[in-house]
Structure 1
């Protein structure tokens, strides 16, 4: 999917791709290794997560500027993870373009439940219909450190 940038005065083109062979894994790992939810993730671990997820790269004039992945069974449930835009490209609406592309991906149209976790981007996901859990007391987790 290729889209003109939101501002019509720019000539830059934004492209969203699910082609894993285009992903710049060192770029992804370099961002994730310092962010709170993935601190210390190695390049090998990043590659494993890519191998086992439905991935989205966002490209500006052919250069990757962001990433996201979905863990899913393609019918019932999807969990959105590792969504990011490079710091120098933030504020241009690219995260909204990326999330919209994920939610509209033809392979993900049967899904009944989408989930994600965020500490600081509630406002972004709310634009796409995400809400706090209706019954968080039903959710459980096991964290291994």
Structure 2
């Protein structure tokens, strides 16, 4: 029973919940960036390069074998167009992570630069005040 209790407390720690939330959001963000790259960025680039669809860019190592209108073996190819698209995805995600971390660091510096509250009386000053009050009461 101790194992499950420990596991439950581990899962309910704030850091784990925050991490799980970040992973879920990052997965969704990755899908958005992949769609943005594939559906918005790559088509104009393909048009500029002469009506090229990056998904179709590949170097065929071995052609497919077709006999009697049935594919016996699939083609073997290096799909460098998909690789280029993945690199662009990576650069976009890296850029957004950079922006988020940069904003975080700036907010962290602002918190550090906030003026410290004025220091309170020292221990010696407090003891002197107590002594003086005691002297007043004894007179």
Q: TM-score, normalised by structure 1?
A: 0.20
Larger radius of gyration: 2
More strand by share: 1
TM-score scaled by length of structure 2: 0.21
Structure with more of its chain in helix, by fraction:
2
